[in-house]
């Protein structure tokens, strides 16, 4: 972790609100609008447990992950325990998901629901171009990305959503009926996965932390306090809006079929509330999608700039990301959703495993525990969700055998098993390395001792040139051989001292002499001057 500073900066309420609103806007995207009403629709009278499940997976877990990352300093501090390349592999995968899934989905949703929902005659392609031109404008100034979001976009977005939610709750548009799912909590919990917000925490952590630092909160304590304060604002806003949208969906559970499309359901609910909110809701949809897209475009550009060691410029990467995302957005919401589910299903378990390990980092015994847990969970995630692999008999058997797999927690047992086995393997490898180290240290100690006694004898004022030569030749062979080859009294005395005083010689003192001997040669007297 970073070195703490004693100069703790006083936290300002204005900074909390601006960054808290920006965090909320980054989390609240296309999925966050369309998933809660659908979860409410199938939950009916069980909307309370459904809201609890959505709160845990869609609010608490993402914010908790962000706080854990902040306390560690960055994502790399967690992933480095798994392997030196884990950070780059994980973040690269998440950034690719952003570029080809998440960002295009925000664009398609904003246009199809926000624009064409009110003005059907608006063409799709020009709208996509306009959407990413605006995204580029907000993203181009790296240092002010979240400031722009928090000052200009989010307050308007939050105001519209809160007003619509209050109207929907105060004047319900129907009466909830019995739930069409067996366990509303579990169903909503799994539905919270689809928001992808835990992944957003890992994707956006670097941008969030840098934005906090740009406000002057550079020391660990101030930064962490600021992140917690902003997270509280995010939690409150998400809970209010999720709760109202889910309740509005539950109120129409007696009017619409449970298999109704998410986007169609949202439009139908808004029309029931009143046509006067259609345009404000369309604006809210556009803003919600745009704020998420802006934050993720900035994150993608920042990551690949760092990964390329500054060879690629930030603005160049922003343009490239916008172009690739725009091309994918032309598939439309349905075209994107067809290949999105399995990607999230594979990504979520390893990320959740890293989050848990990061939370308990102080009690994790060794890096083997990290490796075992993450690798096991990753393998299980591929068996469960990867297209083609998940349909094999072996994969189905493994997934079916896992407790809690039906509830979406099948990765828990592989996590625990990998944690235990990895810990044991880590302890074994550590003992082996320790043994090798002791053996090497013993050999190094003996050789270094020779150098020290060599220096002592060579520095004598009355030593003769021929004795000097004898000693040089002596110390180019092991002591026991030299004793047989040369009978000079000085050499015999040296070996006696070598055996007596060896245990008391300091290790780091010898290191310098050995390094010198290896680099210059034993014949060079400069090592001993």
Q: Containing H/E element for 448?
A: helix 412-458
Q: Give CA angle at 299 (294, 305), nearest 5°.
A: 125
181: tokens are: 């799912």
CA distance linking residue 150 with residue 138, whole number of Å: 11
Residues 62 and 193: beta-carbon distance below 8 Å:
no
pLDDT band at 193 (very low <50, low <70, confident <90, very high): confident
Residue 487, pLDDT > 50, answer no
Q: Which residues contact 357 (CB under 8 A, 6 or more apart)?
A: 78, 81, 364, 369, 370, 373, 374
Residue 505, pLDDT > 70, answer no
Residue 77: name the closest of 283, 387, 359, 461 by CA. 359
SS3 of residue 486 by DSSP: coil
pLDDT value of residue 523: 47
Mean pLDDT within 83-94: 86
Task: Decide which of 508 and 87 is more confident.
Answer: 87
pLDDT value of residue 291: 81
- SS3 labels along 366-398: CHHHHHHHHHHHHHHHHHHHCCCCCCCHHHHHH
Q: What is the mean pLDDT of the chain?
A: 78
CA 409 vs. chain centroid, Å, equals 20
pLDDT value of residue 421: 92
58: tokens are: 């869609």
Residue 376: name the closest of 418, 344, 422, 409 by CA. 418
The phi, psi pair for 474, rounded to 5°, reads -65, -45
pLDDT value of residue 8: 59
Q: How many CB atoms lie within 10 A of CB 82?
A: 25
pLDDT value of residue 18: 85
CA distance linking residue 270 with residue 528, whole number of Å: 87
Task: Please compute, for residue 239, the number of CA atoms within 13 A of its CA located in the half-sphere on the CB side.
Answer: 14
Mean pLDDT within 481-498: 47
CA atoms 339, 62, 34, 114: torsion sign: negative
Residues 268 and 252: beta-carbon distance below 8 Å:
yes
Mean pLDDT within 232-261: 87
Residues 41 and 330: beta-carbon distance below 8 Å:
no
291: tokens are: 């704020």
CA 45 vs. chain centroid, Å, equals 36
Mean pLDDT within 356-379: 90
pLDDT value of residue 340: 66
pLDDT value of residue 68: 93
CA distance linking residue 481 with residue 251, whole number of Å: 94
Residues 293 and 103: beta-carbon distance below 8 Å:
yes
| Chain segment 63-86, per-residue pLDDT in tens | 999 999 999 988 888 998 898 888
If 0-12 CB within 10 Å is exposed, 13-18 middle and 19+ buried, where does residue 168 land? buried
195: tokens are: 């928001």
Find the helix packing angle between 465-474 and 412-458, rounded to 10°: 160
92: tokens are: 């690269």
Mean pLDDT within 394-413: 84
Residue 489: name the closest of 507, 499, 474, 500 by CA. 474
Mean pLDDT within 237-250: 90
pLDDT value of residue 416: 93
CA distance linking residue 452 with residue 482, whole number of Å: 17
Measuring CA to CA, how many Å separate 343 from each of 98, 131, 320, 514?
11, 25, 22, 54
Give the total residue count for the chain.
529
pLDDT value of residue 324: 93
Residue 376, pLDDT > 90, answer yes
Measuring CA to CA, how many Å separate 292 from each of 109, 316, 372, 396?
12, 20, 34, 36
pLDDT over 70 for what percent of the chain?
75
Residue 418, pLDDT > 70, answer yes
CA distance linking residue 193 with residue 203, whole number of Å: 15
Task: Decide which of 458 and 247 is more confident.
Answer: 247
Domains of the chain: 13-359 (1.20.1740.10), 428-528 (no CATH)
269: tokens are: 């609910």
pLDDT value of residue 503: 44
Sole residue written with tokens 């959407």: 131
pLDDT band at 231 (very low <50, low <70, confident <90, very high): very high
Q: Which of 151-165, 238-252, 344-358, 404-418 has the lowest mean pLDDT?
A: 151-165
């Amino acid at each position: 972790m970073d070195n703490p500073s004693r100069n703790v900066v006083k936290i300002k309420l204005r900074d909390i609100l601006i960054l808290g609103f920006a965090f909320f806007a980054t989390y609240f995207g296309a999925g966050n609008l369309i998933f809660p009403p659908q979860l409410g629709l199938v939950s009916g009278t069980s909307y309370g447990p459904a809201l609890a499940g959505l709160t845990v997976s869609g609010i608490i877990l993402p914010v908790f992950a962000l706080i854990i990352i902040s306390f560690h300093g960055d994502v790399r501090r967690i992933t480095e325990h798994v392997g030196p390349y884990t950070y780059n592999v994980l973040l690269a995968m998440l950034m690719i998901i952003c570029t080809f899934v998440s960002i295009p989905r925000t664009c398609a949703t904003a246009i199809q629901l926000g624009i064409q929902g009110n003005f059907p005659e608006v063409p799709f392609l020009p709208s996509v171009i306009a959407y990413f031109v605006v995204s580029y404008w907000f993203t181009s100034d790296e240092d002010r990305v979240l400031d722009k979001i928090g000052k200009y976009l989010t307050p308007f977005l939050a105001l519209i959503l809160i007003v619509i939610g209050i109207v929907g709750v105060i004047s319900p548009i129907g009466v909830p009926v019995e739930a069409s799912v067996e366990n509303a909590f579990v169903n909503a919990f799994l539905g919270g996965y689809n928001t992808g917000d835990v992944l957003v925490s890992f994707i956006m952590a670097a941008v969030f932390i840098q934005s906090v630092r740009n406000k002057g909160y550079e020391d660990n304590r101030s930064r962490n306090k600021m992140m917690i304060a902003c997270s509280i604002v995010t939690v409150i806003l998400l809970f209010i809006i999720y709760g109202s949208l889910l309740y509005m969906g539950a109120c129409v559970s007696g009017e619409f079929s449970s298999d109704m499309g998410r986007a169609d359901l949202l439009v139908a609910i808004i029309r029931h509330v009143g046509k006067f909110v259609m345009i404000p809701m369309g604006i809210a949809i556009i803003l919600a999608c745009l704020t998420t897209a802006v934050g993720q475009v900035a994150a993608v550009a920042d990551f690949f700039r760092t990964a390329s060691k500054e060879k690629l410029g930030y603005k160049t990467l922003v343009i490239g990301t916008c172009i690739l995302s725009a091309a994918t957005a032309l598939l439309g919401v349905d075209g994107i959703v067809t290949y999105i589910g399995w990607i999230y299903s594979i990504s979520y378990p390893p990320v959740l495993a890293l989050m848990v390990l990061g939370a308990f980092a102080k009690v994790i015994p060794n890096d083997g525990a990290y490796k075992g847990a993450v690798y096991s969970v990753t393998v299980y995630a591929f068996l469960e969700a990867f297209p083609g692999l998940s349909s094999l008999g072996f994969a189905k058997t493994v997934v079916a055998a896992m407790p809690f797999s039906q509830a979406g927690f099948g990765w828990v047992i592989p996590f625990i098993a990998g944690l235990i086995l990895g810990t044991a393997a880590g302890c074994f490898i550590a003992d082996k390395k320790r043994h090798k180290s002791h053996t090497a240290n013993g050999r190094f100690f003996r050789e270094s001792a020779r150098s020290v006694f060599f220096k002592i004898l060579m520095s004598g004022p009355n030593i003769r040139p021929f004795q000097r030569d004898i000693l040089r030749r002596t110390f180019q062979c092991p002591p026991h051989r030299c004793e047989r080859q040369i009978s000079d009294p000085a050499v015999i005395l040296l070996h006696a001292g070598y055996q007596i005083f060896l245990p008391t010689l300091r290790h780091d003192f010898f290191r310098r002499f050995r390094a010198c001997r290896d680099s210059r040669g034993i014949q060079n007297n400069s090592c001993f001057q």
